[in-house]
Amino acid sequence: MNGINGTLIVPGDKSISHRAAILASLSTGKTVIDNFLFSEDCLRTLDAFQEMGVQITKRNQQVIVESEGPSKFLPAKNAIDLGNSGTTARLLAGVLSAMPFSTVIKGDSSLSSRPMKRVTEPLSMMGAKFKFLQRDGHLPMTIEGGRLKQIDYEMPVASAQVKSAVLLAALTGQVHVSVTEQTKSRDHTERMLEAYGIHIEDKNGTITLRENQVLHAKNIEVPGDFSSAAYWIAAAVITPGSELTIEHVGLNPTRIGFLNVLKRMGASIEIIEKLDAMNEPVGTIIVRYSTLNATSLEIDEIPTLIDEIPILALVATQAEGTSHFHHLEELRFKETDRIKATVLGLEELGADIQMKDDGMVIQGRTRLHGGVVKTFHDHRIAMTAMIASLITSGDVTVDDQDCVKISYPNFFEQLNEFI
Ligand code: S3P
């Protein structure tokens, strides 16, 4: 391996694609969404609105949404299956809370083991009714929507999904709401609403959305997904001889904690262009192989790199010294218990990594070797293992390659271009 060299474009952002599908469906008129991420999770969001009567056409990298707004949504004929998608489940729960009908939503075994009370609690306070059909606090559940009332909600966990569920319920139900966050989570919903001309204010951690606002269709362009770019940034930083350019990547400050931490570790990273696409900063990243030092994560930066912990842990195996990753309790509630899956996966490849209740401690630098990594069907674990394969002394295989389709359908194609 002579390094990871060249120029790369990553697919559209997963979080922004979900929100584009939702806000386009909630608008009246025709929306063209460019660079939509056609991954399994985002397709679940499109399907859900299609099942409620919204006209959706997919072509190449575009999605065309034609909607008459939420007042014309129809009850889905069957339970809506959300597959593996936590973002769809939670954001959709917000929208459905304001619908004058009942809907059943369900998911695969991973999604059915993820907590839903974090959204049903605030949405119940707004007036929606929920019934868990099998296990308390988990999918499948029935959502009985209706007329909502105003709440001022203090978030107990830093979660963009919960924040967005409450904002979307208020928007759809046309009521005023305020949401207060202790630590700022990704703000794509707020930014996109603002781009639609909606009055939304973020003052000292309290986001306020005014009542009686409606969305009129507006074309949307989705930037490249920083979380997908993170795999290649890591690949270039840890593989000797690398210089990689990644174009048109979303650089929203609430998403790029991984870049900031890598810079702190000594990585050579440059951003050469910055433009705005629908209120989201977008740029080109140039990253080079670098000698790295260990680091510790601060509690406030966790939400800005929450999906990058597995790949950051891999990078830490190549940094000199002991890296301390704490305050990561939320990782236990992701597609799988990501603390455990990350530690087991990297241990299999020879890393010196210790699991803690709230995270992990990694001793670097270690020479990694080949192995068979158990993904627990988690896309981010599979991609981390495959990036590790660029520097291991033997072959790395994963027990499930298919799970990458959740967020990055062409991951293996792009990886093959480098090996
Ligand atoms: C997401 C928010 C985060 C993140 C997930 C996508 C979103 O989850 O982990 O991949 O699009 O709002 P939480 O809100 O549970 O932190």
Q: Which atom of ligand 1 is nearest to the CA of 14?
A: 11
C-alpha 331 to ligand 1 mean position (Å): 11
Ligand 1 neighbourhood includes 87 CB (under 6 angstroms): yes
Who's near 414: CB < 8 A, 6+ residues apart? 8, 232
Say whether 161 counts as a known binding-site residue.
yes
Q: Are 166 and 311 part of one and the same domain?
A: no
Show pLDDT as tens, one digit a residue, over the chain (419 residues). Answer: 789 999 999 999 999 999 999 999 999 999 999 999 999 999 999 999 999 999 999 998 899 999 999 999 999 999 999 999 999 999 999 999 999 999 999 999 999 999 999 999 999 999 999 999 999 999 999 999 999 999 999 999 999 999 999 999 999 999 999 999 999 999 999 999 999 999 999 999 999 999 999 999 999 999 999 999 999 999 999 999 999 999 999 999 999 999 999 999 999 999 998 889 889 999 999 999 999 999 999 999 999 999 999 999 999 999 999 999 999 999 999 999 999 999 999 999 999 999 999 999 999 999 999 999 999 999 999 999 999 999 999 999 999 999 999 999 999 999 999 88
Length of the chain: 419
Residue 293 pairs in a beta bridge with 320
Q: Are 249 and 188 part of one and the same domain?
A: no
**Three-class DSSP category at 374:** coil
Point out the catalytic residue in the list 41, 81, 307, 378.
307
Rg of the chain taking only CA atoms, in angstroms: 21
Q: Are 204 and 235 part of one and the same domain?
A: no
What is the model's pLDDT at position 236? 98
Q: Are 144 and 43 part of one and the same domain?
A: yes
C-alpha to C-alpha distance for 350 and 122, rounded to whole angstroms:
44
What is the model's pLDDT at position 89? 98
C-alpha to C-alpha distance for 329 and 218, rounded to whole angstroms:
38
Q: Are 171 and 266 part of one and the same domain?
A: no
Q: Are 157 and 251 part of one and the same domain?
A: no
Domain boundary among 149, 179, 209: 209
Nearest CA to ligand 1 atom 11: 15
* Domain-embedded: residue 215: no
Residue type for position 3: G
C-alpha 334 to ligand 1 mean position (Å): 9
What is the model's pLDDT at position 98? 98
Domain boundary among 159, 181, 209: 209
Q: Which atom of ligand 1 is nearest to the CA of 163?
A: 14
Residue 76 neighbours by CB distance under 10 Å: 20
Domain boundary among 209, 236, 260: 209
Say whether 380 counts as a known binding-site residue.
yes
* Domain-embedded: residue 6: no
Q: What is the pLDDT of residues 259-317, one digit of tens each?
A: 999 999 999 999 998 889 889 999 999 999 999 999 999 999 999 999 999 999 999 99
Q: Are 191 and 338 part of one and the same domain?
A: no
* Domain-embedded: residue 218: no
> Into how many domains does the chain fold?
2
What is the model's pLDDT at position 228? 98
Look up 108 and say whether it is catalytic: no
The CA angle 187-189-191, to the nearest 5 degrees, is 70
Which of 190, 195, 239 lies closest to 217 in space, CA to CA?
195
Residue 159 neighbours by CB distance under 10 Å: 22
Q: Which H helix or E strand runs over 257?
A: helix 257-265
The DSSP secondary-structure symbol of 200 reads E
- Residue of 82, 88, 159 to mutate, ligand 1, most atoms within 8 A of C-beta: 159
Q: Are 296 and 335 part of one and the same domain?
A: yes
Domain containing residue 100: CATH number: 3.65.10.10
CB 219 within 8 A of CB 31: yes
Say whether 19 counts as a known binding-site residue.
yes
* Domain-embedded: residue 355: yes
C-alpha to C-alpha distance for 308 and 134, rounded to whole angstroms:
32
Say whether 15 counts as a known binding-site residue.
yes
Ligand 1 neighbourhood includes 160 CB (under 6 angstroms): yes
Q: Are 308 and 355 part of one and the same domain?
A: yes
Ligand 1 neighbourhood includes 40 CB (under 6 angstroms): no
* Domain-embedded: residue 108: yes
Q: Are 80 and 137 part of one and the same domain?
A: yes
CB 201 within 8 A of CB 354: no
Q: Are 366 and 392 part of one and the same domain?
A: yes
C-alpha 158 to ligand 1 mean position (Å): 9
What is the model's pLDDT at position 61? 84
* Domain-embedded: residue 217: no
Q: pTM for the complete prediction?
A: 0.98
* Domain-embedded: residue 219: no
Who's near 49: CB < 8 A, 6+ residues apart? 21, 22, 25, 56, 65, 67, 73
- Residue 367 belongs to domain spanning: 224-418
Q: Are 273 and 192 part of one and the same domain?
A: no
Q: Which residues of 311-322 are buried (b: 16+ CB within 10 A; e: fewer)?
A: bbbbbbbbbeee
What is the model's pLDDT at position 1? 72
* Domain-embedded: residue 267: yes
